[in-house]
Structure 1
Amino acid sequence: TEFPVEISLSPLETADGLLVSAAVRDVSERKAAEERINELAALVESSQDAILAKTLDGRITYWNAAAQRLYGFSAAEAVGQHVSILAPPDREDEILLLLDRLRRGEKVEHFETLRVTQSGAMLDVDVTLWPTRSPDGAVIGACAIVRDISDRKRAEAELTELYEQQRHIALTLQRSLMGTPPAIPDLATASRYLPATQGAGVGGDWFDLIPLGAGRVGVLIGDVMGRGLEAAAVMGQLRSAAHALAKTGMRPRQLMQALDTVVADLNVPDQLVTCCYLVVAADSGEVVICSAGHLPVLVAVPGEGASTLSTPVNAPLGVGGVIYEQRTTTIARGATLVLYTDGLIETPGTDIEDQLTQLIGALDKLASAGLDLEAAADHVLTTLLPDANGHDDVTLLLTQVPAAPLATAGAELCAEPRAVRDGRGFLAATLCTWGFVERADDACLLLSEILTNAVQHAQGPIGLRVRRTDTELTVEVSDPSPQLPQPRVAAEEEESGRGLQLVRALADDWGVRPTDEGKTTWFSLRIDRPLAPRPTWP
């Protein structure tokens, strides 16, 4: 086996003459170390990253070729200089802080900062620093590897700008698809929508307020699972479909059944949608609700606190094969319905039940404090999302039933021809009592047409209900027939077919809505001046 040796010869004079002593030493390890040092030196010198060494007071002691290419200083120009020549004037304190950390034996990894070249150009750099030690472990200097990350920073800035542009476009699209709910007379509302602060920001949340006529309002809220433009696009289609279906007077369970089919027809794999639809009668406080897997609706009653509105449990839209159930309940005057999406109470690191309890607690305080809805909405968001750092978009909708009772009157008529006369008489007497004279003749004429239709096609009792506000008079006729009247053009020789045409011409608004018992046909007339106070009706 061959191995390197070091031989030392020393002459010795002895009685026998001159002798030579030879010492042979194995220097394999030293030779290997020298070769390793030479290799490392070659690697350092040929590195694409700038590498430099310095004393603890900041004087440069080593400067490789890459450092010269990066900064523009030659080794002769740089060695002996203080490292502060590489820092912009406003970052000299940064150099001192880094040297102080190195003296304490700390290693600084991937510190991103700005450095300046010999020509004055600014560079984005990534710096890694570590202390060098003597054999006894004392810190005697430091080394640094510096990498130019200017191209990466420019690319990151361009990506950030592009991302912000896309996020702005997506949010604009989502808000356009969500629309702006109209102001509803006799119904105070407040709404908030917060896009997610992470990712694309947009999601599938939506809400809608749909005037249904005759003092009824559809309140809709939904959440398409997922994030991004796909969820927003699905949301837009569902919102449009739900709005159109609700305008037909469809019952909440029927609307959910139809939306379930719409979700299936969208042909989006594994797409689930939670949704809740309520029909609120402002004058009576009656609420008909159907929920498709959505979070519970809360009710805040002044002086009583907040509670969950009882709702049948149904599967989300998109599951298929589900028969949706609805429930009818009555809420107190002045009560506020609180609808929201999961982004409000499902946050990382928290329990959804705890968050729901916190939400109910916040609403309890609002019910006792009597805040207006806008202030209440802000308080809820501040309480549940104090840092406003949402991982999901958030929708909050507050809807308050009027506290003051509205003037109403009602009667039950038999399904016989005399019902038309009796109904006209009842309406005329009621309007006279209320001081409504301007359009009383129009109201009685329209009632005659609707009652005639009910008498001809219905069996059983006919309900007549009259409702007024300061701006509108509404008359409703209910009968047990499920057949919905349709306006049509009557031929000259036909005796029927003109009643609904007359209703369309004279009424400011009218419609037909199906009920569990049959249907209700209604019309509204606008009031140009406030009505006289209603006396006590016997």
Structure 2
Amino acid sequence: MSVQKLRDTGSRPGFFRELVESSQDAILMKTLDGQITFWNAAAQRLYGYAPEDVIGSHVGMLLPPDLKDEEAGLLEQIARGVRIEHYETRRTASDGRVLDVDVTLWPIRTRDGSITAVCSLMRDITGRKRAEAELTRLHAQQRQISLALNLMGNARQIPGALAASRYLPSTQGQGVGGDWFDLIDLGAGRVGVFVGDVMGRGMDAAVVMGQLRSAARALALAGLPPCEVMQTLDAFTRDLPEPFVTCVYLEADPARGEMTVCSAGHLPVLLIEPDATVSTLPVPTGIPLGVGGVPHQQVRLPLRAGTTLTLYTDGLVETSSSDIEQRLKLLTTVLEDAFATTGGGLESAADSVLRTLVPDTDTYADDVTLLLVSFPTAPLETAETALDCEAVSVPAGRRFLRAKLEEWGLTDHADTALLLTSELLTNAFRHARGPFHLRVWHSVRELGVEITDRSTPRPRARLAASTEEDGRGLCLVEALADAWGTRPSATGKTVWFTTLIAPADGDAAVPPALTPASG
């Protein structure tokens, strides 16, 4: 159609009314006091009112009861010449249904510019709003499940260790991701500490994280050293849908004053000395889990009483606008200031770290995980002796233990400890290679006995037949000890047991320095 013909058509009387009537969008016109003056066919289809039902009536008939005051505000803006674009609100149809609508309003002017009326264009967005609400519900459900999976790794109370933890799920994208942390009571006064990060966010990352955390905890409880835990997790990760994971596993033994650490591509662990000096643990970074091909290395480092360890994920120190080295220096500074000020208060130190490194919790793009673990005291007493692989070592070991229990004032616990030690020494003499190493220690909370030999097969409790002479010793240990287990050593294995010497109802007599806390 030529431009001239279009102009001629547009100037034909009634052309614009026909155009408005044929619009697929609901259009109505009203006076500045809200009286409806025009109502097209699409408006009738949307609301169910015929033109004769509404023309001359106030537009308030379309408003739900809770929005009766809304129209006055809109008309006031139009009277000032304001055009209102895509205003989402609700309106009521003739059958009582409440519709979600997108409304655009603009003033109608006379030739002299005076505003005399309002034109309103409306679109039904009920279906879209319903879909958005369902999507929001599903996202919230996914986030809640992911968060629940993550919180299963919350820092538990571990005897002899203090802990404060913080976990903030991302506020962007799919929200909760694959960060996790875990504290594990390995027995005999030893503590396992995990922090890890699965690449990605959302349900997939959270599910992988849950699988890894469960596998890691099981491997740690089985007594595997950190490097073997990492190697096994590396093989396990290759079959998962998110095969790129960084993590660090630390096995702390305050009784020996040492810790063993292995990292799989994770950020460095920070060590806070009792005098608030902060340094980086000299641990090989290693490669992330799931890559394979390169063995993970573990290192053994000293662990002083009163030391605090800081473990975290990249969400705490990585931003798109900052150099990570500068952020790590900032973290070090904040920890030094916090521990110098509070004297080692973990909860206040954790709060200081978050306030400084994550000041705006509405905008961080990744999960933020922080774990502070402190080992406030070493065992009160420890003693050890070497024994040959011969029958006389069993009574010799009992005599050594009895003497130490008398020296420490723990004779009330001697009967059980001597019986269990005798069983373990006899077991070692009959089934393992010597020499043996007997070590005994106690804290305020528990007494521990460890026997190390030079054989790798680990003993296990079993039900012995009535005709067998063997097979009952470990069942006795399992029945009488509060905890027992085995773990590999540098030359063989260690079998240990512990018995409580503090009240069994929750360490009521344990001094504050040894009472665990978690955040």
The answer to whether structure 1 residue 108 and structure 2 residue 90 are counterparts is no
For 2:408, give the aligned amino acid. Answer: W
Tell me if the contact between 2:254 and 2:305 (Cα under 8 Å) persists in the aligned partners.
no
Counterparts of 2:50 and 2:464 in 1: how far apart (Å)? 100
Which structure has more relative contact order (CA 8 Å, sep 6+)? It is 2
Pair 1:318 & 2:290 matched: yes
- Partner Cα distance (2:418, 2:439) in 1: 13
Contact 1:171 1:201 in 2 (8 A): no
- What is the alpha-carbon distance in structure 1 between the residues aligned to residue 211 and residue 199 of structure 2? 14
Residue 189 of structure 2 is matched in structure 1 by 215
Larger CA deviation: 232-241 vs 161-170: 161-170
**Alpha-carbon distance change, 355 to 135 in structure 1, aligned in 2, over 3 angstroms:** farther
Instruction: Provide closer, same or farther for how the CA distance between residues 490 and 133 of structure 1 changes in structure 2, counting only shifts above 3 A.
Output: closer
> Matches of residues 359-508 of structure 1 in structure 2 within 5 Å?
359-368=331-340, 369-370=342-343, 372-389=345-362, 391-403=365-377, 406-413=380-387, 420=394, 422-451=396-425, 457-458=432-433, 462-482=436-456, 484-485=458-459, 500=474, 503-504=477-478, 506-508=480-482
Cα deviation for residue 57 of structure 1 reads 6.3
**2:11 is matched with which residue: 34, 48, 56?**
34
Structure 1 counterpart of 2:267? 295
Q: Structure 1 residues 198-207 or 466-475, which shifts more? A: 198-207
1:47 aligned onto 2:19 = no
Helix, strand or coil for the counterpart of 1:439? Answer: helix
1:127 deviates by 0.7
Q: SS at the partner of 2:412? A: coil
Task: Call closer, same or farther: CA 1:354–1:97 in 2, change over 3 Å.
Answer: farther
**Partners in 2 of 1:121 and 1:90 — Cα distance?**
14
**Kept in 2: contact 1:301–1:367 (CA 8 A):** no
Q: 1:511 aligns with which of 480, 485, 498?
A: 485
* Alpha-carbon distance between aligned partners in 1 of 2:450 and 2:357, rounded to the nearest angstrom: 43
Letter of the 2:196 partner, please give it: G
2:133 corresponds to which letter in structure 1? A
Asked whether the 8 Å contact 2:339–2:345 carries over to 1, the reply is no
Q: 2:101 aligns with which of 125, 150, 154?
A: 125
Deviation at 1:130, TM superposition (A): 3.1
Corresponding letter in the other structure for 2:441 = R
Post-superposition CA distance 1:415-435 (Å, at most 9, x none) = 677655654443222211111
Q: 1:249 matched to which residue of 2? A: 223
Task: Determine whether 1:330 maps to 2:302.
Answer: yes
User: How far apart, CA to CA, are the structure 2 residues paired with 1:444 and 1:29?
Assistant: 108
**Which residue number corresponds to residue 517 of structure 2?**
none
Whole-Å Cα distance in 2 between the matches of residues 81 and 498 of structure 1?
Answer: 94
Per-residue displacement from partner, 1:286-323 (whole Å, max 9, x unpaired)? Answer: 21111112232233334314443332111111111120
- Find the structure with the greater CA-based Rg: 1
Report the alpha carbon displacement of residue 401 of structure 1 after superposing the two structures with TM. Answer: 0.4
Counterparts of 1:396 and 1:519, CA distance in 2: 34
Query: Equivalent residue for 1:282?
Result: 254
SS in 2 for 1:312: coil
Amino acid at match of 2:74: L
Cα 1:244/1:159, change in 2 over 3 Å: closer
Amino acid at match of 1:145: L
**Secondary structure in 1 aligned to 2:411?**
coil
SS of structure 1 residue aligned to 2:444: coil
> Which residues of structure 2 form unaligned runs of 5+?
510-519
Rate the CA distance shift 1:33–1:220 in 2: closer, same or farther, 3 A.
same
Kept after mapping to 1: 8 A contact 2:379/2:441: no
Residue equivalent to 2:180: 206
Provide closer, same or farther for how the CA distance between residues 82 and 489 of structure 1 changes in structure 2, counting only shifts above 3 A.
Answer: closer
* Shift, 1:63, TM fit: 3.2
Greater mean alpha carbon deviation, residues 300-309 or residues 160-169: 160-169
> Is residue 278–residue 290 contact of structure 1 (8 Å, CA) maintained in 2?
yes
Distance 2:361 2:295 in 1: 38
Question: Structure 1 residues 484, 157: CA separation in 2 closer, same or farther (over 3 Å shift)?
Answer: closer
AA of the residue aligned to 1:468:
H
TM norm structure 1: 0.77
Aligned to 1:15: none
Q: Is the Cα–Cα contact under 8 Å of residues 155 and 163 in structure 2 kept in the other structure?
A: no
Q: Report the Cα distance in structure 2 between the residues aligned to 1:260 and 1:80, rounded to whole angstroms.
A: 76
Among candidates 127, 133, 136, match of residue 157 of structure 1: 133
Offset, 1:244? 2.0
Measured against aligned partners, the alpha-carbon deviations of 1:139-197 in whole angstroms (never above 9, x if no partner) come to 6654321123334334443444455455545555x268x36665322222233444445
CA RMSD of aligned residues (A): 4.1
* Partners of 2:236 and 2:6 in 1: CA distance: 79
**Equivalent residue, structure 2, for 1:148:** 124
Gaps of 5+ in 1: 5-26, 532-538
Asked if the contact 1:223–1:275 (Cα under 8 Å) also holds between the matched residues in 2, the reply is: yes
Cα-to-partner distance string for 1:65-118 (whole Å, 9 max, x where unaligned): 333444566556655666556545765654444345445554322101233557
1:262-273 correspondence to structure 2 within 5 Å: 262-264=236-238, 267-269=239-241, 271-273=243-245
Which residue matches 2:198?
224
Question: Do the aligned partners of residues 493 and 169 (structure 1) sit closer, same or farther apart at CA in structure 2, a change above 3 Å counting?
Answer: closer
Contact 1:459 1:480 in 2 (8 A): yes
Alignment: residue pair count: 501
Q: CA deviation at 1:252?
A: 0.1
Name the CA shift for 1:393/1:431 in 2 (closer, same or farther; >3 Å). Answer: same
Distance 1:132 1:364 in 2: 67
Find the aligned partners of 2:20 and 2:416 in 1 and give their Cα distance: 98
Higher mean C-alpha displacement, 279-288 vs 381-390 = 381-390
Cα 1:332–1:46 change in 2 (3 A) is same
Provide the secondary structure at the position in 2 that maps to 1:520.
Answer: strand
